[in-house]
Amino acid sequence: MSAPVVFLIIVLVVCATSWGAATAVPTNADDAAAMQSIANSTGAAKSLGWGVRSLDPCAGTWSGVRCGDTGRVTSINASRGGLTGMLDAADLSLLTSLVELDLSFNDFRLELPKPSQPLAGLRTLDFRSNNFVDIPDGFFSSFPALEMFAIDDIDLSDALVLKDDVATCSDLRSFSANNVNMNDVFPNIFGNASLFPELESLSLARNQLWGVIDLDFGKNGKINFQDVGAQHSISDSKLGGILRFITGMENLVELRVDHNSFGPLPDATHLVNLRSVNAAANDLCGIPKFPAGTDVDLDGNPNVGKEC
Ligand SMILES: *[C@@H]1O[C@H](CO)[C@@H](O)[C@H](O)[C@H]1NC(C)=O
Ligand SMILES: *[C@@H]1O[C@H](CO)[C@@H](O)[C@H](O)[C@H]1NC(C)=O
Ligand SMILES: *[C@@H]1O[C@H](CO)[C@@H](O)[C@H](O)[C@H]1NC(C)=O
């Protein structure tokens, strides 16, 4: 390339860069400090290159980090990012514009991070497959706008996952805590549509839940997917009760209650949205009555087809 052409390219690059910088709002200093600290403390500087090419988390060089046009960090997706350690609660507290935090499939330890004051705009928290052991008290109160929560496949030593404050998350649309060693009476609170009017998806499979599901569970609510299958209770108490609770769940599309102790089959023919039911290996009896075309698995219920 001739010298003038090279010069022209340099001028164009410099102009484009400074024009870009001039139009963008500078990154919030608290957000930048918090993200730099997180980059160091979780190993993201090494594994995701955070802070390596630019110390500015909104520079576009921080993999999985997105910012709004006000210079605030709005989304962190470090799923399968090779991260470890703890996400410092003080750092999280600074990220007051955060909407989405996905830390799934990493090696985070100890407690879930709980900010010192509520993060009013946070809607998505995904902590699946990590090595957390505890959900701190008041955790859910810190996320009053929470819509999606996922914490599957974590061996929580604090098995009473659901502190009462989960009811402060009245915008919840999806709550997923499969296989977290939850050893507790079934949390019927989720079936209260005045507390969770937006709840569409509830997954609590493969825990140690016991007790009965209330007959009016999910009544007048929006739940369309519910998986409470395969509770492996360590005592003799099992999850069961009358399967009739589903008859109030008009929006139900897919139900999984397999490998529990549910009793008589309900008449579910009016549940017109129903597509799939897995109720294998329970204590069911009676004549199956489901809408035509529903995929129903009732294997391992010797008394199905017989009178109860
Ligand atoms: C992150 O680590 C680098 C290198 O060790 C250090 O210079 C920097 O001050 C640290 N930043 C924060 C916010 O801890
Ligand atoms: C984070 O990124 C992964 C991989 O690209 C994606 O599957 C996941 O849906 C993202 N998380 C969120 C909350 O968007
Ligand atoms: C549902 O929650 C509301 C509000 O807390 C409460 O008044 C009501 O008694 C609850 N309903 C059931 C069936 O527990």
Task: Write out pLDDT tens, residues 46-102.
Answer: 999 999 999 999 999 999 999 999 999 999 999 999 999 999 999 999 999 999 999
260: domain range?
A: 202-308
Tell me the CA–centroid distance for residue 166 and ligand 3, in Å. 14
Per-residue confidence (pLDDT) for residue 19, from 0 to 100: 45
Domain assignment present for residue 17? The answer is: no
158 and 221 part of one domain: no
pTM greater than the 0.85 cutoff:
yes
* Ligand 1 touching residue 36 (CB < 6 A): yes
* Ligand 2 touching residue 88 (CB < 6 A): no
174 and 268 part of one domain: no
- CA 118 vs. chain centroid, Å, equals 18
Q: Which among 165, 194, 216 is the best mutation to test ligand 3's pocket, defined by most ligand atoms within 8 Å of the CB?
A: 194
Task: Write out pLDDT tens, residues 157-194.
Answer: 766 667 678 999 999 999 999 999 998 899 999 999 99
* Ligand 2 touching residue 100 (CB < 6 A): yes
Give nearest CA residue, ligand 1 atom 12: 37
Domain assignment present for residue 270? The answer is: yes
Q: Which CATH number does the domain housing residue 273 bear?
A: 3.80.10.10
Tell me the CA–centroid distance for residue 79 and ligand 2, in Å. 7
176 and 39 part of one domain: yes
Domain assignment present for residue 234? The answer is: yes
- pLDDT of 202 > 50? The answer is yes
212 and 85 part of one domain: no
Domain assignment present for residue 265? The answer is: yes
Give the residue-averaged pLDDT of 132-151.
94
Domain assignment present for residue 12? The answer is: no
* Ligand 1 touching residue 41 (CB < 6 A): no
| Number of structural domains in the chain | 2
Residues of the chain with pLDDT > 70, as a percent, come to 90
306 and 159 part of one domain: no
Domain assignment present for residue 258? The answer is: yes
165 and 225 part of one domain: no
* Ligand 2 touching residue 104 (CB < 6 A): no
pLDDT interval class at 4 (50, 70, 90): low
- pLDDT of 198 > 60? The answer is yes
100 and 166 part of one domain: yes
